[in-house]
Every structure is written in structure tokens, then in C-alpha cells.
Structure 1
Amino acid sequence: MNKHDPHEQLNLDELRDETLVVHGDDWVTNDGTVAPAIYYSATFRAQNSAQFAEMAGTSRHPRYYTRYGNPVHERVKKIMAELEGTETALVTGSGMGAIATTLLTLVSAGDHVIAQTRHYMSTAKIMDEMLPRFGVEVTLVEQADILAFEAAIRPNTKLIMVESPANPTLVITDLAAVVELARPRGIIVVADNTFASPINQRPHDLGVDVVIHSATKYLGGHHDLTAGVICTSEELAERIWQTHISIGSVLSPMDAWLLLRGLRTLPLRIERINANALALAKFLEEQPQIERVYYPGLPSHPQHELAKRQMRGFGAVIALAIKGGYEETQRFVSALKLIPNAVSLGGIDSLVVHTAAMWEGVMTEEQMRTAGIPPNYVRLSVGIEHIEDLKADVLQALQAI
């Protein structure tokens, strides 16, 4: 292949992830730059009326109006579709923008949705409050019980929403088994893959129709942007995009550029994060102040074998229960010196939250019980720091309880 010819494209299917994230978008925008440019323009100029008509009539055109698309969006979309193994991708202004836009596209009044009892809190509120307001029935099932999914299916079931590992409990859903139930019945399966990342898990390979990410987390990786990504087929992407341009959850060109920059190092960061999290989870299991540690990479996790089958790595997030209750948990979180008490996950620096304290402001007690969030629960997202420094910080905090 002549590498100087911009019209000659790499065979991306032959590239490994580490190379794909660096070169997968090389020919998307042929502007001669090595580092991608930021196209900070809300609108783009047509050379004549015929070109304008072509731009206006082309779905997801990258140079018409940034709510419709942007050249930086195109670069992100190309890499993400390749990472997840889908035909295409869409980008949004946040992960919840991606989830809400997808759900509002794919279900209508009179439809039935199956979701998990354990979802990210804002997803749970969509299921509990928003969809029923629009005449959509929702049944919540225990995600670890595939028979519960099967029993919940109705003639009007249109969509199954899954999230694995689930936030914040790290319960695993058998994605292939859910797809096996859904596909013969024409039910669309949507998976939130945020907690895994496409490096650790590829739901589309298991038959999932739509894969969603909060790109604020692993994909961006530096806690400096909010974004969402939807990876799916051309047909579903076109439908979702039509809703997207009406709802307007637009990803800014700057955040798209930051996301693209974060993707360049995603495989490297995930490799370090996976190793750190597993080592820290094993260390935490040995501490007498800990009641229980939940991490899919540990043999003690009740779904460890399932996690090994459908995941290539186990991610940043460790859930742990502190012996005692709410007050002891608050003291532990407050005593950490290296690890900040802050929301989000999957970045270069470790973060910790007292889960009950975080969620009690937006969820009712009943919703928290349903989601399996006890008062002594901690969510720890492990970053790329030296593992011995992380162990030392956790140990001194435990001793301060």
C-alpha cells in the first residue's frame, strides 16, 4: 500500500487495539495534520447551492452543522466502531445523553422493557419514572438470574437493557444468554458497557444490538470531559440519530478532541488499571476491617467464571463493604489521603465514593434497597498510580476507622 496516498486505507480489521486507537482514524479527515485539528465551528460553508443541498440531505454529515456532526466526531466514531466491532457509532454530550436518546428512539407507548434491578442511578430513574410516564411498561429483574429475564418476556417486549458489570455492585449479566432469549423474538438488546470498556469486553461480539458508553469514564480517561458513545448498526444508528438531532445532546468539538486524545492511550491505561485493581482487590480481602470485597477478577466473586468467559479484563472498580455501618464508612473515605473522594471512574487517578452517601440524594430508600446499596458500601475506582502507594493509602485509612 502506498502510505502517501490518503485514499488508500488501512485494513482496520487487521490492527490490534493498541495500533487501532492511534491510526484507526488516519484517513477520516484528510487535512494533512498529524495531530487532529479541532473544528470549532457550529456551521460549515457550502461552495454552491448544489453542495449545500447535498450536505443538508446527508444523514450525519460531518461538515454541515455540528449538532448533526463534526470532523472530530467522525474520528471518534470510526475508532469506537472498530473497537466495539459495530458498523458505526454516534457521539453525544454525555453517557446519559446516549442512553436516553437510544431508549426514546427504540420504545414507544404500549411497549414493554426489561431492565435490571441494578443499574446506574440515572438509568434506574429513567426506568422507574420517565418511561412509565410515556406509557412504556418496565419490568426489573435480577440480572444474575437468566430465568428471570425469560419469565419477564411478554408479547409486547421491545427492548432489554443490560449493564455489566453493574454500577455500583459489580454484578455480572450473562450477555450471550440474554441475546439468545431476545434474538428469536425480535427484541433489541442494549448494553451499557461503561464499566468494562471495549478493551475488556465486546458485547456486540456476543450479539448485543446497541453498545453504549459514558465516555466520561475510561474512554476519555482523564476526568476532564463529559461524552457518550453509541455503537450499533447503520440502520439503528440512523434511527437514533434522528432522535439525537431533536434532543440535541451535542458533543462539543473540544470534548470530542479530548476524547480522541484519551482513546489513543486507552489500551495502555486499561492494562495498568486491570493489574492495579486486581492486586488491590486481593490486598483488601486480607484486611480485617473489610467485611467483603466485590471484584469480578477475584475467585470469591459469585460470578467469577462468567466474568472470565465474557471479559478479557475486569476493570478499575472495586466494591467493598466496611465492617460497621454508615459512620465507619464515612471515616474510612475521609481518611484517604492519596485517593480523592469524587464521583466518576476509569481515569488515570484513583477515586473513591461512599456509595450510600452519593446515591441517597437522588434515590429513594426503596430504590437503594432494590439496587443493593447498603450503608457501608464503598466504590473504589483504581487508577494508574503505583500499586504500593495505593495499598499504603488504603491501609492507613482502614486503621483510622
Structure 2
Amino acid sequence: MEQHPITQAIRIRTEQTKEMEHSSPLYLTSSFTYEDAEEMRATFADQTDNNIYTRFSNPSVQEFIDRMVALEGAEAGFATASGMSAVFASFMALLKSGDHLLACNAIFGSTHTVITKYLPKYGIEYSYVDADKPEEWEAAIRPNTKMIYMETPTNPGLDIIDIELVANLAKKHNVILNVDNCFATPIGQRPIELGADLVVHSATKWLDGQGRVLGGVVVGNKDLIKDIYLFCRSTGPSMSPFNAWVLSRSLETLDVRMERHAKNALFIAKALENNNKISWLKYPELPGHPQYAIARKQMKSGGGIVCFELKGGLEAGRNFLNNLKMLTLTANLGDTRSIASHPASTTHAKLTEEERLAVNITPGLIRISVGLEHHDDILNDILQALEKC
């Protein structure tokens, strides 16, 4: 009987981790041994499933990959040292000089830097389309477009892009669709079911959920993943066994954690929606969200991020952060502890003001990663800080 993905995220073990222990052992080793010369030869000739070197594969890392493959409904995957190494590997393994990458304009700041500063060094062209204007997507596809890359919900403005619509365009033009599913997690949405070819994650965020380790993962079509694996095998952005072991344990509670994060986030969003210090507020499950209908179609929950614009702009944003007493100020999200950040001066500071405004990153924009504390305590801290803006 086939198990539910949430059950698989708890119960999946690799053949090598199916030992006597109730919890999987940690394989902290750089290399692996063989019984004899013939076994070693066959392994290096790819005639066995044996491990060779932890830069290539490791039982602890494979267990994390297998669990993510199950959660996302993918065919295969590869885990990397960080979310950005997963994004970069998904680009460099599959794009070549002369290819064109089409991306939504609302993306994480470091991803924007990779696309605009580094991909052109390798002869890879790029262009952006507005995340909230789906009618522009098909017109922006060129004869040399090889990949479409997008986040949904976007970071930090929570725009929602219709994955199925873009997937249909990608298939029509024989283009790879690569979706960053970090904000929603596979608990909130499964892009592969909607037609995506690849899904990338910063496992550092909700997948870990406690701010402990770095990690990234790419899952999807097995042929595409093979190319990504071969690229990473040679270039080395591999996940450490310890981080993979931690992340595998984290996946066992992902479903229950995300249920609480989303419940808390919706409570906070509803409570703040009409606050007189706020110009606008966005959360995917609020009917006032511009893409509410799309969110309801493709998301199982709204996730744990709430964003809003303070009426007082930059100065109000600084006052808000400086007056928080419980919420943490840190360059992360997806933690058990609630986090507040000011994207214009942190994660997206490298963008020009024009680029920030084009994706609605205004001077007073605040992003709240809603944690697992009691929702009244989270709200009370936000409210008292707002009163001092």
C-alpha cells in the first residue's frame, strides 16, 4: 500500500540506514571502502549503487533527498550546501552560452545577482517579466529560451504566480520550468503536480525550521537531475552529512510545524489588515490579496510569511524594528521564532531603488516570518512596535 508523502517524510530510510537503530545513524565519513578490487572497479564504473565519496553521495544525504523527493512528488533529487548553491547548480548544469533564461522580476536578492552579474559572464542571456502580469510571459519567450525560473510566493512581496499557466507555456515552447518553492514548502504547494520540471529549496528556511544548518535541494525530472548531479559531483557544492541528518529529522515535523506557522500567520494578517499605521498588507489567504484566486487554486495553505507597508516609509520601518521586544532581527526566515526584516536595507539592498520599486519593495516594507510562539504574544509585540512608528 502506497504511503502518503507526509508518512514517507517520516519513515523513508535508505538501504544503508536501515540498521537496528530506531533513528537513522549519521554517516560522517569522507569516503567509503570496498571488499576487494573488483567491487571497487565496478563501483567506479557505475555498475553498482555503492557510495564512493561524500562529495558524490552519502547515505545520510541520500535519506534527506529521498524524503524531499517524496514530499514534492519528484523523480529524483540532489542536495547542496545551501539554497543558493541549489539555484546556481540548476542554472549552470542546464544552461549554456547562447541560451536565454526568463525569470519573474520578484526574486531573492542573491538570485537576482547570480542572474544579472554572473550568468552573462558565461554568455547566458536573461530577461525579466512582471510577476503579476501573466499575459507578458509568452511574449517574452525567445527562440533561445531554455529555462523559466520563478518564485511563488515571491520574496519578499508575496506575489502569487499561476504555476499551471506558466507550466503550459513552458511545455508549449519546450522550455524547462524551474520553481523556487521555499516560501510555500511542499506542505503548502507541490509545483511538480502543476507541471514544473524542477523545484529548488533553501533547506535553511522552513525545511530545517530552527535556524540551525545551511542546506539546499533540487528535485524534479530524473534526466535533468542527472545533469545537475554530474555538475555538482565535479564542482563540489555538496551537502554535509551532518546537515543532511539534521534536515531529515526536521522533515519529520514539517507538516505539523507548517500547520502552526500558517495558522499563526493568518491570525496576525487578519489582526493587522486594517491597522492605521499600515498602507497595505499581503498574505495569500486574505481575500484582499491581488492573486487570492490563484493562491486558493494552487496552495494548500498560505505559509508563514506576512508582509506590509508602513505609512511612514523608511523612518517608520527603522522605528518599528528598533522597538520590537520579542521578534528577532536576523537575516533568515522560517524559524520557530518570529523574525522581522526590512528587505530594502538587507536582502534586497544590492538592487537599485528603481529595481526595488519595480517589484514593490518600498522603503517601508516589513517582512514578518511568523514563528511558533503563541499568536497573542507575536501580535502584541508587533502592535506595541507599530504604536511607536
Normalised TM-score (structure 2): 0.97
Q: 1:384 aligns with which of 367, 372, 378?
A: 372
Asked if 1:74 is matched to 2:62, the reply is yes
Q: CA RMSD in A?
A: 1.5
Correspondence 1:169 to 2:157: yes
How far is the alpha carbon of 1:44 from its aligned partner? 0.8
Tell whether 2:281 aligns with 1:254.
no
Q: Secondary structure at the match of 1:158?
A: strand
Amino acid corresponding to residue 105 of structure 1 in structure 2: A
Q: Select the residue among 297, 301, 310 that pairs with 1:309.
A: 297
Give the direction of change, closer, same or farther, for the CA distance of 1:76–1:306 in structure 2 (3 Å limit): same
State how 1:274-313 maps to structure 2 within 5 Å: 274-313=262-301
CA distance in 1, matches of 2:301, 2:42: 44
Partner residue of 2:137?
Answer: 149
SS for the counterpart of 1:114 is strand
Mapped contact 2:102–2:149 kept (Cα < 8 A): yes
1:213 aligns with 2:201: yes
* Residues 331 and 347, structure 2, Cα contact 8 Å, conserved in 1: no
- The answer (yes or no) to whether the contact 2:9–2:70 under 8 Å persists in 1 is no
The residue aligned with 1:135 is 123
Match of 1:331 among 291, 300, 319: 319
Long gaps (5+) in structure 2: none
**1:159 and 2:140 are equivalent in the alignment:** no
- Return the alpha-carbon distance in structure 2 between the equivalents of residues 256 and 156 of structure 1: 37
Give 1:225's aligned amino acid.
Answer: V
Match of 1:101 among 89, 112, 121: 89
- For residue 106 of structure 1, give the secondary structure of its aligned residue in structure 2: coil
Q: What amino acid is the match of 2:378? A: L
How many angstroms does 1:62 deviate by?
Answer: 6.1
Residue number in structure 2 paired with 1:53? 41
Match of 2:224 among 222, 233, 236: 236
Q: Deviations over 1:111-146 (max 9, x none)?
A: 111101110111111221111221111110012222
Q: Distance in 2 between matches of 1:138 and 1:62?
A: 39
Distance 2:230 2:31 in 1: 18
Q: Indicate the larger mover: 51-60 or 264-273.
A: 51-60
Moved more, 22-31 or 266-275: 22-31
In the TM superposition, what whole-angstrom CA distance separates every residue of 1:272-316 from its partner, at most 9, and x where no partner exists?
A: 011000010011113211111111111110000100100000101
Alpha carbons 2:343, 2:349 under 8 Å: kept: no
Alignment of 1:260-275 (within 5 A): 260-275=248-263
Change (3 A) 1:18 1:85: closer
Find the aligned partners of 1:145 and 1:365 in 2 and give their Cα distance. 21
**1:60 positional shift:** 10
Bigger shift: 355-364 or 304-313? 355-364
Three-state SS of the structure 2 residue aligned to 1:343 is coil
- The answer (yes or no) to whether the contact 1:212–1:230 under 8 Å persists in 2 is yes
CA offset at residue 61 of structure 1?
5.3
Aligned residues of 2:157 and 2:361 also touching (Cα < 8 A): yes
- Conservation of the 8 A alpha-carbon contact between 1:144 and 1:174: no
Instruction: Please tell me whether the aligned partners of residues 320 and 378 of structure 1 are also in contact (alpha carbons under 8 angstroms).
Output: yes
The CA distance in 1 between the partners of 2:262 and 2:157, in whole Å, is: 17
Listed one character per residue, the Cα deviations across residues 326-373 of structure 1 (whole Å, up to 9, x for unaligned) are: 111111111111110112111211111011121454333333233321
Q: Does 230-239 or 22-31 show the bigger shift?
A: 22-31
Aligned partners of 2:344 and 2:134: how far apart in 1? 28
* 8 Å CA contact 1:117, 1:141 repeated in 2: yes
Instruction: Compute the displacement of 1:88 (Å).
Output: 1.2
Greater shift, 227-236 or 206-215, is seen at 227-236
Q: Quote the residue 2:309 is aligned against.
A: 321
What corresponds to 1:6 in structure 2?
A: none
Distance in 2 (alpha carbons) for counterparts of 1:331 and 1:60: 60
Measured in 2, the distance between the counterparts of 1:293 and 1:389 equals 20
The 1:363/1:392 distance shift into structure 2, 3 A limit, reads same
Q: Matches of 1:157 and 1:101 in 2, distance apart?
A: 18
Q: How many angstroms does 1:28 deviate by?
A: 5.8
Which deviates more from structure 2 when the two are superposed, residues 228-237 or residues 96-105?
228-237
* Alpha-carbon contact 2:17-2:25 (below 8 Å) kept: no
Distance 2:312 2:286 in 1: 23
Report which stretch shifted further, 353-362 or 382-391: 353-362
Is the contact made by 1:118 and 1:143 (CA closer than 8 Å) also made in structure 2?
Answer: yes
Answer with 305-314 or 129-138: which moved more. 129-138
Partner secondary structure for residue 186 of structure 2: coil
**How many equivalent pairs are there?**
389
Instruction: Specify the alignment match of 2:79 in structure 1.
Output: 91
State the one-letter code of the partner of 2:327: I
- Where 1:138 maps in the other structure, the secondary structure is strand
1:185 aligns with 2:169: no
Separation in structure 2 between the aligned mates of residue 369 and residue 299 of structure 1, nearest angstrom: 24
The CA distance in 1 between the partners of 2:48 and 2:113, in whole Å, is: 30
The CA deviation at 1:247 is 2.0
93-102 vs 56-65, which deviates more? 56-65
Alpha-carbon distance in 2 for matches of 1:120, 1:53: 44
Q: State the AA in 2 paired with 1:224.
A: R
For residue 17 of structure 1, report the CA deviation from its aligned partner.
Answer: 4.0
CA distances 1:169-188 after superposition (whole Å, capped 9, x unpaired): 10111110011111022111
| Aligned 8 A contact 2:108 2:348 in 1 | no
The whole-number CA distance in structure 1 between the counterparts of 2:48 and 2:157 is 37
Alignment partners' CA distance in 2, 1:368 and 1:107: 27
1 CA distance for matches of 2:232 and 2:15? Answer: 26
SS in 2 for 1:199: helix
